[in-house]
Amino acid sequence: MIQALRKLVTFDEFVARYPDNTGKRYELHDGVIVETSQSTGDHEEIIVFLVQKFILEYSRISLSYGIPKTVLVKPLETESAYSPDILILNLPNLVNEPLWKKETTVSQAESIALVVEVVSSNWRDDYLKKAADYEAVGIPEYWIVDYAALGGRRFIGNPKQPTVLLYTLIEGEYQVSQFRGSDACGNPSGERIVSPTLRELNLTAEQIFQAGGYPVEP
């Protein structure tokens, strides 16, 4: 679970205070400092797997991208700042980011190629708040990896099953595609995740879930 410290602060106050020396991670949600939960091993294994896949692909096609260790995404005109599980930066645009050098923060869509959130207990943030704010920023591609099927049924169906949701920005609004590890009969689907950013990426939801210890049973 996440723990919210309910004192409203500005973005400037937030970046001046965190990170602290406790090793904990925090985000700012509309002026509220939120301590993110400690991730599980499955969660981290999926992140490692995806980072490896992404780096191999954008390096193969010689894109000027990079995946930072720690970076904040700040929607303009809000007192929010998010720390995505994975963020692919468009490195040449960082010179145009006013908050990059001092706060390691980006706010321009041109700097952000793709964002991934791997779902944990605070799934509503990923599906509702972050999806809306990432759309407002203009981030062209947003993945929600719900490997443990924690999200609401209105997002991943009933019965709930592990799902990768890919949000693609089209005319300023997100359109959502769903990818699952198995079909209605329980057989591995083998359907490739079609990424607008990394068009030739050869990756399935089944591979992602298996990386996190969630094998798809035939």
pLDDT in tens, 130-169: 999 999 999 999 999 999 999 999 999 998 999 999 999 9
**Residue 188 confidence (pLDDT):** 64
Does residue 28 register a pLDDT over 80?
yes
Chain centre to alpha carbon of residue 140: 12
pLDDT at 187: 63
Per the listing, tokens 């106050």 go with 13
For residue 208, pLDDT beyond 80: yes
Please name the residue that has the structure tokens 């904040």. Answer: 72
Three-class DSSP labels, the chain: CCEEECCCCCHHHHHHHCCCCCCCCEEEECCEEEECCCCCHHHHHHHHHHHHHHHHHHHHCCCCEECCCCCEECCCCCCCEECCCEEEEEHHHHHHCCCHHHHCEECCHHHEEEEEEECCCCHHHHHHHHHHHHHHHCCCEEEEEECCCCCCHHHHCCCCCCEEEEEEEECCEEEEEEEECECCCCCECCCECCCCCCCCCCCEHHHHHHHCCCCCCC
Whether the bond into 98 is cis, omega within 30 of 0: no
Computed on alpha carbons and rounded to an integer, the radius of gyration of the chain in Å comes to 17
Mean pLDDT of the chain: 90
Strand partners, 168: 141, 175
Nearest 5°: the CA angle 73, 211, 194 is 60
Q: Above 90 in pLDDT, residue 36?
A: no
Phi, psi of 136 (to 5 degrees): -65, -35
Top pLDDT among 204 and 122 is at 204
The residue that leads in pLDDT, 213 or 109, is 109
